[in-house]
Structure 1
Amino acid sequence: MAMRLSLTSWSLRACTLPEAVAISKALGIDALDLGYFYGPALDKAALLAAPLQAAERVRELGIEVPNFYHLFGSTLADRNLADPGQRSRNEKDIAAVAQFCRAAEIPTIFVLPGVCNPGQGRGEALRQSAESLRRLVAITAEAGVQLTIEPHVHSFTESPQLVLDLLGEVPGLKLTLDYAHFVCLGWRQDEIDVLASHAAHVHLRQARPGALQAKVHEGTINFEAQLATLRDAGFEGALALEYVNQDYMATLYDDVLAETIALRDRVRAWLT
């Protein structure tokens, strides 16, 4: 399957889920990543309690869903994977999420890798997260769903090498790869490229050092080079456009729809 576009439902925070589906189709994207956030959210408690019923509601939307974003707790730190005290609860939840994704024909799940908890440095956080992820990968693999992590600002995986170290500890783990999180931290694009061969899903938005999100014409990511790197690495998944309006890393100030369309057109021009 060739690379194709998707849209993240949390980009359309004021919409209902049916409205987000309709916008994706109107933009000619025809695929929508789902999660628990804002107006297009899925009900987390309902999904965990009755995953097959939640999957039926998703299938009724009539749109491809390439990826599902599962957040274990209510914040980046709550129930994060580097906290060993949360493993049993997290494993129970991921089993339900994997059942949901299999029934809804969603091929990939992404979770966050974890943070440096009190008393932890990066090394210990990585060790604890790897132990958690080995168990979660086994659960999702049994359901036929690919588990991925998204390395992000404020996690312990704030360098490409740390991500590679974690992947080396967890056979079968893949990435939901967003270059913006590394560019924001000052990494050069060619330094991030080593992660492309590990990607099962990709988030796209413009960024620059110090800014997680930038207008398409104002950032430093060379999308044409990135797309070529992904292609050459054998990536055949979805490229999810992820412009957002969130109170996180100053991503409140862009016209989400205008930037989404501009990036859609730039990616399409390269793909064709």
Structure 2
Amino acid sequence: MPVDARRLSCPDFAFPALELEGRLELIRLLGFAQVDLELVVPLPPAAPEDAVVARMRAAVSASNLRVADLFFVVGGDDFAASAINHVDAALRAAHRVAFAGAARAARELGAPGLTVLPGVPDHADPAAGWERAVEELRWRVDAARAEGVQTRIEAHIGSLVSTPELAARIVAEVPGLALSLDPTHFTMQAIAPQRITPLAPLAGHVHLRASRPGDLQVAWERDEGDLAGLLAALEAAGYEGPLCVEYVPMAKWNCDRMDILGATAATRAALLSGELG
């Protein structure tokens, strides 16, 4: 079934070689109506600078794009050092200050939701690590709700919710929490679509791209995922929100070894035509 073009979003962080304003202009030229914005703060975490948020707000206003999601990243790709369930209580407290600022930024930018990473396993004490993550996410749901913003997590490889079952479990333990559902983190692990689609009712946001076992993202013509099945499950669950075509050129997982622009355009075209293989 073809997807309405107005639902499609593209991440600004797909094109890091451009300044923010250029990224948004490229996304508009590609035909997208919405954008997923990334907001990054370094370690140790602190609230986003007002000037940074003001620039984002001005750029979005000039672009005429709607903001589908604000992806809040602390500390880059070092998942353990930047985990919200870090064993260091002082660092967790600093994370809360940073998140509160990000939730305010999401409201100012008109983003309906704010996506964060869910934390990592504590191999020394798995139960304690899990409970810290649940506690921190419950706090974030309440803090973001006060700003009128939904809290979402991306269940990703290397996180403490790296399987569909663990993702469902943590959402069940944190009332109000939603998923930024990215099936490619499961497809890369050769997890069957039948285990992924039950997550559809938990989605507050959705990431889509071509993937296959062993590769988080590939060119559209090499896709081995079941996007058609996922979209059907989302429709059955009543999900009517944005669908983000998310290809990113990061070094992690060899994501920088492909044509990001071409894959983005090809996937958008396939979604609009309904020809998903």
TM-score normalised by structure 1 residue count: 0.89
| Deviation (angstroms), 1:51 | 7.5
CA deviations on 1:40-86 (whole Å, 9 max, x unpaired) are xxxx9783456863564344333211101111334222231222523
Q: Which residue of 2 aligns with 1:93?
A: 98
Local SS of the residue matching 2:70: strand
Q: 1:175 aligned to 2:179? A: yes
| Deviation (angstroms), 1:139 | 0.2
| Deviation (angstroms), 1:108 | 0.7
Local SS of the residue matching 1:134: helix
Q: Equivalences for 1:22-37 in 2 at 5 Å?
A: 22-36=25-39
Q: 1:198 aligned to 2:202? A: yes
CA deviations on 1:114-156 (whole Å, 9 max, x unpaired) are 11245233x4332210011001110000110001000001111
How far apart, in 2, do the equivalents of 1:53 and 1:216 lie?
36
CA deviations on 1:198-232 (whole Å, 9 max, x unpaired) are 11111111111111112212121122222111111
Q: Which residue of 2 aligns with 1:151?
A: 155
Q: Which residue of 1 aligns with 2:262?
A: 258
How far apart, in 2, do the equivalents of 1:160 and 1:213 lie?
18
How far apart, in 2, do the equivalents of 1:46 and 1:197 lie?
32
C-alpha change, 1:57 and 1:7, in structure 2 (3 Å) is same
Q: Which amino acid aligns with 2:48?
A: L
Local SS of the residue matching 1:240: strand
| Deviation (angstroms), 1:237 | 1.2
C-alpha change, 1:243 and 1:56, in structure 2 (3 Å) is closer
| Deviation (angstroms), 1:99 | 1.0
C-alpha change, 1:206 and 1:157, in structure 2 (3 Å) is same
* Aligned partners of 2:85 and 2:92 also within 8 Å: no
* Aligned partners of 1:80 and 1:113 also within 8 Å: yes
Q: Which residue of 2 aligns with 1:216?
A: 220
C-alpha change, 1:223 and 1:52, in structure 2 (3 Å) is closer
How far apart, in 1, do the equivalents of 2:236 and 2:68 lie?
21
Local SS of the residue matching 2:244: strand
Alignment counterpart, residue 69 of structure 1, candidates 68, 71, 82: 71
The range that moved more, 59-68 or 106-115, is 59-68
Q: Which residue of 2 aligns with 1:83?
A: 86
Local SS of the residue matching 1:94: helix
How far apart, in 1, do the equivalents of 2:104 and 2:55 lie?
10
Corresponding residue pairs, total: 263
C-alpha change, 1:54 and 1:90, in structure 2 (3 Å) is farther
* Aligned partners of 2:141 and 2:176 also within 8 Å: yes
TM-score normalised by structure 2 residue count: 0.88
| Deviation (angstroms), 1:162 | 0.8
Q: 1:241 aligned to 2:235? A: no
C-alpha change, 1:145 and 1:60, in structure 2 (3 Å) is same
How far apart, in 2, do the equivalents of 1:48 and 1:139 lie?
19
Tell me which stretches of 4 or more aligned residues in structure 1 moved more than 6 Å: none
Q: CA RMSD in A?
A: 2.1
Q: Which amino acid aligns with 2:66?
A: E
Local SS of the residue matching 2:216: strand
How far apart, in 2, do the equivalents of 1:224 and 1:193 lie?
11
C-alpha change, 1:167 and 1:45, in structure 2 (3 Å) is closer
Q: Which amino acid aligns with 1:81?
A: I
* Aligned partners of 1:46 and 1:54 also within 8 Å: no
How far apart, in 1, do the equivalents of 2:60 and 2:267 lie?
28
Q: Which amino acid aligns with 1:72?
A: V
Q: Which residue of 2 aligns with 1:40?
A: none
Any unmatched runs of 5+ in structure 1?
Answer: 38-43
| Deviation (angstroms), 1:160 | 1.0
Local SS of the residue matching 2:221: coil
Any unmatched runs of 5+ in structure 2?
Answer: none
Local SS of the residue matching 1:217: helix
